[in-house]
Amino acid sequence: MNESWKADLEEWLAPFLSALGHKVRARLCPLYVAGLIGPGDRKSIQPMAAREGGVGYDQLHHFVAAGTWDQAPLEKVLLQEADRMVGGQSAFLIIDDTALPKKGKHSVGVAPQYATTLGKNANCQTLVSTTLARDEVPVMVGLRLFLPESWTSAPDRMIRARVPDAHQSYKTKPEIALEEIDRIRTAGVRFGCVLADAGYGLSAPFRQGLSARGLTWAVGVGARQKVYPAGVALTFPVAARGRPRKNPVPDVTSLSAEKTLASAPWRTLSWRRGTKGPLKARFAAVRIRVADGPPQRIGAMGQQHLPGEDAWLIGEHRSTGERKYYLSNLPADTPLKRLAGAVKARWACEQAHQQLKEELGLDHFEGRSWSGLHRHALMTMIAYAFLQNRRLGQASGGKKDLRPPAAAEPAGDPPGHPGSDLHTGDTQMPTLQGAPQA
């Protein structure tokens, strides 16, 4: 195997090593990242140290799990590199989570919980992930551990796992996702639309939080999600007797997403080209108002949510018979094909999760501490970004970068503002295959 990629890695890591600001850590960081990229089925510390040579287990373990250093400067460099590679108004910021199956109960955050990867409850750690993707090329930019209440209600347990004070209170996954989005926007990362599956899209505070930040979004919801027609009005019904009504009520009843789209026109659309040809499904979309406003008692129906934000309700009928539903605040004049492309662009994060685990050892960390897990996750994201940078260079005819630096881009909307070019392209990037070939 040609080893010249290691020289490229040293050069590419220069801004990360500068951010570390420590001579010993600057020597160990490239060794750790190279160990993740290089050959070998197991990417935990002991086998990586044995394969790399010139570095001991104790040194690598102290670097990632025990040392006292701030990883925020490296996270900032990662965001800058991701923005340079795939940022822009046609980029998507994808929110999801990924499970790391674990045995025992001492690793930080491990608990019986639903594992999306396995499709069932399992003993695992769950990481809330953020991925920046453009033209179907993903770069993972955030992995943050979710702590179940079985952990946040046990202070001694969190102290043993060295959970920082700022993270010891219970937060839902959507709350963690909003914090991650704020961190990413503060760093100046450019994207046009936030995507998330129903695990996040079902949360009204999450959707409302995105809108309050001026962000465009497209998220999954359930078939029972209640919506109102776009023309719903609030009225004051006059009762035959009794006191006049103090609060208005909708003049129509809310319906489920499934029922609302039952009579809508459906079209077969292709959103991208796969290895076996165009990927197709049937889509429909109608303008609605989401039933997520303040609760109000409405006659015999009891407490109902009033109409909230104007949005698109999008339906997808897959060839397997499966039906999916989505909400989006993309503009009212957005074509159906663009709506379909947006909701289907989320697949890029699933590809990234798979490659981070299967090829870079995201789920191989054997330590128990908060800092160790997050530093290992950061190293895997840095390794993944390096490989994506090489692949983009190869795809663009040998040039190192896909695009000019951010400063060379014409001035436009601020980060997160809905851009004019929300689509998924037909770019087909090869999958990662272990160490890159020179």
What average pLDDT does range 381-387 have in this prediction? 96
Which residue matches tokens 């197991």?
42
Phi and psi at residue 5, in whole multiples of 5°? -60, -25
Contact of 28 with 63, CB cutoff 8 Å? yes
- Give the start-end residues of each E strand in 18-146: 92-101, 111-115, 120-134, 137-146
Name the residue with higher pLDDT: 325 or 319.
Answer: 325
Q: What is the pLDDT of residue 393?
A: 85
Q: Taking the CA atoms of the chain, what radius of gyration do you get in angstroms?
A: 24
Tokens of 89: 């108004």
Most trustworthy range by pLDDT among 264-278, 337-351, 413-427 = 337-351
DSSP 8-state class, residue 413: S
Distance CA 129, CA 351 (A): 13
pLDDT tens profile 119-170: 889 999 999 999 999 998 999 999 999 999 999 999 999 999 999 999 999 9
Distance CA 437, CA 419 (A): 36
pLDDT tens profile 176-224: 999 999 999 999 999 999 999 999 999 999 999 999 999 999 999 999 9
* Beta-carbon contacts of residue 372 (< 8 Å; ≥ 6 apart): 64, 65, 66, 365
pLDDT surpasses 90 at 65 = no
User: Helix or strand or coil: residue 331?
Assistant: coil
Percent of the chain with pLDDT over 90: 62
pLDDT tens profile 15-29: 999 998 888 888 899
Domain ranges of the chain: 5-197+350-408, 217-237+245-345
pLDDT surpasses 80 at 417 = no
Name the residue with higher pLDDT: 227 or 400.
Answer: 227
**Is pTM, for the whole model, over 0.85?**
yes
Most trustworthy range by pLDDT among 74-78, 291-295, 396-400, 420-424 = 74-78
pLDDT tens profile 224-268: 999 999 999 988 766 656 666 677 888 889 999 999 999 999 999
Tokens of 223: 């078939």
pLDDT surpasses 70 at 103 = yes
397: pLDDT confidence band, cut at 50, 70 and 90? low
Q: At 168, which amino acid appears?
A: Q
Q: Where are the alpha helices (DSSP H) in 359-410?
A: 370-395
Contact of 260 with 203, CB cutoff 8 Å? no
Q: Is the dihedral of CA 145, 148, 152, 156 positive or negative?
A: negative
Name the residue with higher pLDDT: 299 or 273.
Answer: 273
What average pLDDT does range 171-175 have in this prediction? 97
User: Helix or strand or coil: residue 184?
Assistant: helix
Length of the chain: 438
pLDDT surpasses 50 at 42 = yes
pLDDT surpasses 60 at 4 = yes
What average pLDDT does range 105-125 have in this prediction? 88
Name the residue with higher pLDDT: 43 or 283.
Answer: 283
Tokens of 355: 């490659």
- Cα separation values, 406 from 269, 401, 423, Å: 33, 12, 20
* Beta-carbon contacts of residue 229 (< 8 Å; ≥ 6 apart): 252, 288, 289
pLDDT surpasses 70 at 418 = no
What average pLDDT does range 85-95 have in this prediction? 96
